[in-house]
């Protein structure tokens, strides 16, 4: 992969990441289901990494859209959080995080939940700072950006 510059537009692909962790008993409740808070923490970590890769600056979480747990993740499964930048405003960066659980023995993969997490890029003095423009390379990129723009309008109360 070619080195990225610190300035200028960035593609969603350039900052896309996959964060994986084997779920162990300390991650779960008495029924063997992974705690929602553990999942949310990993979603936020994956999103933050993608946002910082995009911005090339520190980023902090400012919003997490609702998260519905469609399927449980169990002890012994690999939790996979796939994160990609979906929308960029002036300083805000929205990241789509898809969560999957993989049974390592059968290789069966289950989509457990998704979230959109919003971060703000920070300058060296800790104030909000402009984020690089998002390059829309595919139809999927353009669709996610348009949907993200609409979510941002709703978040900020703008019509």
Share of the chain above pLDDT 90, in %: 89
Rounded Cα distance between 22 and 105, Å, is: 13
Mean per-residue pLDDT, 58-72: 94
Across the chain, mean pLDDT equals 93
User: What are the tens digits of pLDDT across the range 69-95?
Assistant: 999 999 999 999 999 999 999 999 999
User: What are the tens digits of pLDDT across the range 128-151?
Assistant: 999 999 999 999 999 999 999 999
Architecture field, domain 10-156: Roll (3.10)
Q: Residue 158 pLDDT > 80, yes or no?
A: no
Nearest of 82, 70, 64 to residue 113 by alpha carbon: 70
Return the domain boundaries, the chain: 10-156
Element (H or E) spanning 37, and its range?
Answer: helix 36-55
């Amino acid at each position: 992969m070619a080195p990225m510059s610190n300035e200028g537009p960035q593609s969603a692909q350039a900052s896309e990441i996959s964060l994986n962790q084997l779920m162990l008993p300390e991650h779960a409740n008495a029924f063997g289901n992974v705690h929602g808070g553990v999942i949310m923490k990993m979603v936020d970590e994956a999103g933050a990494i993608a946002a910082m890769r995009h911005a090339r600056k520190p980023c902090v979480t400012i919003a997490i859209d609702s998260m519905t747990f469609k399927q449980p993740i169990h002890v012994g499964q690999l939790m996979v959080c796939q994160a990609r930048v979906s929308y960029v405003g002036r300083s805000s960066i929205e990241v789509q995080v898809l969560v999957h659980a993989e049974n390592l023995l059968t290789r069966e993969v289950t989509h457990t939940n998704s979230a959109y997490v919003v971060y703000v890029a920070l300058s060296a003095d800790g104030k909000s700072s402009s984020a690089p423009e998002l390059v829309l390379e595919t139809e999927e990129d353009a669709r996610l950006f348009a949907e993200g723009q609409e979510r941002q309008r709703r978040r900020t109360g703008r019509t």
